[in-house]
Structure 1
């Protein structure tokens, strides 16, 4: 499918309660017409009130972390409804090891969830950003252009470092695998009411 056609067919998700925005705001399609081959959905975790993590943060203890609230859990479920329509089949779902990302990924119900440390937050450890992003880019370069859809649940800092987009909670940037560490950005999806 030509790239221009793929782009036009990607994002008319208004009927699903989603606002699409990109350099091509005139796209018109439905989630059912999106080509799932090589599709990567790079998603910020759902609403988790606050910023950063508490001083006593421990990776394997959710009680020490910022977590999804009831609104965030509902937001993740709604995002999952949409992502399943887009993917059209079970997706490979990878998540940051933070509890708010893992819970978002599970609530999407889009496929089995695997932890991927390259998606972890470096918000309070900026010295780790360069090495972590290099690892994430190697992972992305290994995704086949004709492969099954991939969902990556991560943090704002990771989405921004990779794409330049500052996403709202549960917002996803749609990428297309191209055999490099810089997949093509094809659009964004944002649930109505996301902050």
Structure 2
């Protein structure tokens, strides 16, 4: 067996960086820094939030968006999760937030249980699970909506679905989790980090 070749200094440095995880940020998307909820109180911030826990995946065949009895909905744990997050947001000084939601019942219920004020249904937040042909249209509508929001306006909370958030972060999002973005007048606001899920 031939003797092992010694690593060059450059190769040793590269291995050390990889081992230390310092290159992880070079990949697109992925995990982001955990941010305190007080970050959302700053001007021009948006929280893109996945609905609270609704056991299962997708929706039953033949579901109707306006009929909660045909959909996958929050369970008791999900409702408690949404209420608790609302409490944490209020404790962080989030008041007067504009709250928008997907038209799906699990999103609307999450948004209402946050207890932060009126909830406006927004079709651009709807799910396109199992409807790949609708993805480009829905994400395009959401990007146009984000581009119209004032860059120095009050906090905005968007309650939506895993796939929608993934289109902006290239990362998974747990139920009741989400990412905070800084508006910049474009449809691609800068992702600042993620909120912790308690």
Q: TM-score, normalised by structure 2?
A: 0.80
- The 3 A distance-change label for structure 1 pair 31 and 136 is closer
- Measured after TM superposition, the shift of residue 33 of structure 1 is 6.6
Match of 1:156 in 2: 162
Aligned counterpart for 2:132 among listed residues 122, 126, 129: 126
Kindly tell me: are residues 115 and 128 of structure 1, through their superposed partners in 2, closer, same or farther at Cα, counting changes over 3 Å?
same
Which residue of structure 2 aligns with residue 16 of structure 1? Answer: none
Across the two proteins, how many residue pairs are aligned to each other? 168
Matching of residues 1-195 of structure 1 within 5 Å:
22=32, 24=33, 31-32=37-38, 35-86=41-92, 88-192=94-198
Q: Distance in 2 between matches of 1:101 and 1:170?
A: 10
Distance 1:98 1:34 in 2: 24
Gaps of 5+ in 1: 1-20
In 1, the alpha carbon distance for the partners of 2:139 and 2:39 equals 32
1:114-172: CA deviation from partner (whole Å, max 9, x where unpaired): 00000000011110000111110000001111001000000000000122121000001
Kindly state the Cα deviation for residue 54 of structure 1 after the two structures are TM-superposed. 0.2
Runs of 4+ in 1 over 3 A off after TM superposition: 30-35
Q: C-alpha separation between the residues in 2 aligned to 1:42 and 1:86?
A: 17
TM-score, normalised with respect to structure 1: 0.81
Shift of 1:37: 0.6
1: CA distance between counterparts of 2:92 and 2:44? 12
Q: Extract unaligned runs of 5+ from structure 2.
A: 1-30
Alignment CA distance shift 1:187-1:68 (3 Å): same
Q: Name the Cα RMSD after superposition.
A: 1.7
